[in-house]
Amino acid sequence: MTTTTALVEPVTVAGLSLTSPFVMAPMTRERSPHGVPTPEVAAYYRRRAENGVGLIITEGVLVDHPSAGHQRDVPRLTEGAAEAGWRLVTAEVHAAGGRIAAQLWHLGSQREPALWTPGTMSGGDFETLLRAYADAARVAVRAGFDAIEVHAAHGYLLDEFLWPVTNPGGHHRDFPAEVVRAVRAEIPACMPLIVRFSQFKERDFGARIAATPAELGVILDGFRVAGADVLHASQRRFWEPAFEGSDRNLAGWARHLTGLPSITVGSIGLTRDFAGSDRMRELLDRRARGEYDLMALGRVLLGNPAWVRLAEAGRFDEIRDYRKADEEHYA
């Protein structure tokens, strides 16, 4: 595989026109002092958009409640300075021809110290958090975002309701779908709503919210009915089957079970030689067969803002190992 000329081509997913099928996956950076994105944050996202990434998904943005997270420099979606900072970010991404989604995030028990988990929430706590997500969605619309992503993966709060280990009685298991419904009610009908989900957790790579496709279908259909337009299926390696008896990955099952467009992610470009490899061909072939619609890049974009353009041109020797990227390239 010496060149990949079809990498950057316009696509439309859930009514959103994108310059390419590549997505920037959310990656926490803690570069927003007191929760406010800076001009440097705007430039960081613009560099990826102007280099062939069709859809940017922001780093996790904490909803406005003390329980959501403990990091001072993780961005927020609140009225005032944070909203103004995000308006600059979206303007820069749009000027580069890109599109950008805000990822709404609550750490749950991974907050230090944890305040709310499925085992401690009761009564009005649920309504309070629904309002926090809805408020964040309204701010995101005003700030110029093109889409919203609800983070319900990796063992954070919403995912804790789906995982039997953290919610052994299955209490309020439909709360993540209620959050999706609350967000959907606050955004324009034409604005895509993405839900990110996973089997694995940050603290347990072997975890599973569903042992069978049927079990997964119940969860994902709940998201669909609540108003999700796209499913972002996070797994550690995109080429691994999600269930025995089929080579479909997690994004493939999401699309198959719900009919919704899906985003695949998992070690895409993680090694320096990925762009010219058979694994890259497999990634593109699976998409061509209709297994998923979009492909998300994570850590490789930290040190290689132009990874998509470099791969498209076959300039594989210019791709850096993300682990060796210096501060200039991380910026």
**Mind giving me the DSSP string for 6-27?**
TSS--EEETTEEESSSEEEPP-
d(CA 156, CA 321) in angstroms, rounded, equals 29
Which residue bears the tokens 């606050």?
A: 186
- Diameter over CA atoms, the chain: 59
* Nearest one of 111, 110, 192, 190 to 149, comparing CA atoms: 192
Annotation marks residue 133 as catalytic: no
Residue 203 CB-density burial (10 A; 0-12 exposed, 13-18 middle, 19+ buried): exposed
Beta strand 16-18 pairing with 11-13 = antiparallel
Q: Catalytic one among 45, 133, 156, 292?
A: 156
Tokens standing for 72?
Answer: 């001072």
Q: Which are the catalytic amino acids? A: 156
